[in-house]
A and B are shown apart, each in its own frame.
Chain A
Amino acid sequence: MVRISEDTVRQVAKLARLAVSDEEAQRLAPQLDEILSYAEQLQEVDLKGVAPTSHPFPLFNVLREDEPRKSFPREVMLANAPDTDGEQVRVPAVLEG
């Protein structure tokens, strides 16, 4: 039986870089618990030795040749950025050291 606590919600939200208010955590915990409890069904089935499927069809070796394609103009690639100095994307200081 899963038991998703509000603390679990907060921890997982932190990993996913989501801020959750106490109110949200309170609302989400039972919902997530219900959904994950439903998913517990999968524990009933013996899956020993069953290969996992990560793709519907077994394609392999889809490769491109090492040939340059024109890059996009900088102004186009920075046009959607919330903050730039014209050449680079500006973000709040990345903490280090």
Chain B
Amino acid sequence: MAVHTVKQVMESIRKRESKPSEWVERALERIERLDGRIGAFLALDEQALAKARALDERAPDHPLFGVPYALKDNICTEGLRTTAASRILANYVPPYSATVARKLAETGAVLVGKTNLDEFAMGSSTENSAFQKTRNPFDLERVPGGSSGGSAAAVAAGMVPFALGSDTGGSIRQPAAFCGVVGLKPTYGRVSRYGLIAFASSLDQIGPFTRTVEDAAWVLNAICGHDPLDSTSAPLPAEDFTQGLDAGVQGLRIGVVTDIDTTGLDPEVKRAVDAAVAALARAGAEVVEVSLPHCQYAVATYYLIAPAEASSNLARYDGVRYGLRVETDSLVETYERTRSEGFGTEVKRRIIIGTYALSSGYYDAYYKRAQQMRTLIRQDFEAAFARCDVIVTPTAPTTAFRLGEKIDNPLQMYLNDLYTIPANLAGLPGISVPCGLSSQGLPIGLQILAKAFDERTLLRVARAYEQVRGFELPVPDVEGAAR
């Protein structure tokens, strides 16, 4: 069965060649057929088809009208269980919806289900889900990346035309690279975080997974904008990110980072990224060398700031007002048992690191230094962007690794995020676009970064690359791969 882009679905509905319910049925059928092997979804919205049928009667009034989609299960949906893939929220039914979910509902897009993730978005493989493993549609023995692995796999396998994820240190871009789809992390503040179950508040950002760059622009149009419920949301007017997408790269300067750490970089990934840079140059871009001297400290900085914020953000899971409670006679014991049984190993590990980094006597040495380093990393980017319009790097140093390969070595897992983390620390927009397949048939991602709030240039370059890259990304043969 053919796999469709957001744009194809949109146009078909707009031209009244098809109805929303047909697309939702198709999505549900494909999920039914494939998801037993992939494990992308934690839950389906039983109302999806009914909602789509109600739309069938209406005239399409928005580009995303009738387009089925999925949400990472750390985005709250009123009346629909939202778990963050944690036992502690296994039965949590939010009394409200996230701003992005509300916005998408208003456009007429149809939510079909909630996707798997690393518990509380902490991880790079989706193996930290308390409920299930998600497999890479290109190779079922491999991880889809993470933490938004479910959303990436769902789009890669053609189960939905788009899905939303969240990106704190690469959690959209890295799984997009591993699964061969487009993954966009907008500028911090571009998309409201209201209703996104917080991991690290100063780094978290919601963004789309799509099959094409243009699709990403359509989804960003629908979810961006100032939200009075999120104090950190940027007070900017809505923009149309599909405008100027096809302007090409003639006259743009592409920054290549000279001092990036390449110790763990897979040669095949390096070759693909070099080829992508060459393709952009051929298309008319000027390639310039830039330096990001403090990015070598990005992972260390990130692994202090993110756990510190997380240790506080996750304090609310105490078994009092919602979520799991392991009842004992004593309050303190109830807290301790609830949290110990409710959280998985990686979450506990990060809570302990973060608590340590904030505790008295260590704050200045750890948290404060990390915040200072964050300033230097931001300044590095400011200097680099004075010389170029976008920066390109690999999204991840390797292609998708095997299930279980890194689960026992947290530091190795963290180091996998070294190319994606700097954009979160600096709040910049970044995108991963497929730039080839490895000899094993695994997707490779090209990361493009731009100045804050310059998603237009980011998307323009990504789109230009997509057109000159010279290959069609295959739809993974999930059923074949299982044979």
Contacts and interface: CB of A to CB of B under 8 A. Distances in A.
Interface of A: 4, 8-9, 12-13, 15-20, 24, 28, 31-32, 34-36, 38-43, 45, 47, 50-57, 59, 62, 64, 72, 76-77, 79-83, 89, 91-95
A35 B452 contact: no
Contacts of B336: 17-19
Interface in B313-354: 315, 318-325, 327-337, 339-340, 343, 348-349, 351-353
Given A17-B335, A18-B336, A35-B303, A91 B320 contact: yes
A42 B370 contact: yes
A36 to B, nearest CB: 7
A56 B202 contact: yes
Given A36-B356, A56-B189, A57-B452, 9 more contacts: A9-B352, A16-B339, A16-B351, A16-B355, A19-B336, A28-B349, A32-B353, A79-B95, A92-B327
A76 B411 CA distance: 42
B18 interface: no
Interface in B397-429: 410-411, 414, 425-428
Contacts of B95: 72, 76-77, 79-80
B380 to A, nearest CB: 12
A62 B189 CA distance: 13
A38 B357 CA distance: 13
A56 B427 contact: yes
Interface stretch (B55-63, B157-165, B361-369, B387-395): B361-369
B217 to A, nearest CB: 22
B31 interface: no
A15 to B, nearest CB: 5
Interface in B258-279: none
Given A17-B336, A45-B297, A89-B320, A50 B328 contact: no
A81 B320 contact: yes
A18 B355 CA distance: 11
Interface stretch (B64-72, B98-106, B134-142, B227-235): B227-235
Contact of B322 (A12, A36, A80): A80
A43 B352 contact: no
B403 to A, nearest CB: 20
Contacts of A93: 330-331
A80 B95 CA distance: 9
A55 B235 CA distance: 15
A53 B375 contact: yes
B131 interface: no
B47 to A, nearest CB: 19
Interface of B: 91-93, 95, 188-189, 202, 228, 231-232, 234-235, 294, 296-297, 299-301, 303-304, 311, 315, 318-325, 327-337, 339-340, 343, 348-349, 351-353, 355-356, 359, 365-366, 368-376, 378, 410-411, 414, 425-428, 452
A35 B411 contact: yes
Contacts of B375: 50-53
Contact of A36 (B318, B330, B353, B452): B353
Contacts of B353: 32, 35-36
A61 to B, nearest CB: 10
Nearest to B426: A56
Contacts of B349: 28, 31-32
A19 B340 contact: yes
A20 to B, nearest CB: 7
A89 B343 contact: no
Nearest to B89: A80
Given A39-B304, A93-B331, A52 B374 contact: yes
A43 B300 CA distance: 11
Nearest to A73: B95
Q: Looking at A4, A53, A89, which has the most chain B CB atoms within 10 Å of its CB?
A: A53
Contacts of A56: 188-189, 202, 378, 425-428, 452
A59 B91 CA distance: 36
Given A43-B365, A92-B327, A54 B371 contact: yes
Nearest to B355: A16
A90 B319 CA distance: 11
Contact of A34 (B348, B371, B378, B411): B411
B373 A15 contact: no
Contacts of A55: 202, 232, 427
Contact of B352 (A16, A79, A80, A89): A16
A15 B355 contact: yes
Nearest to A76: B95
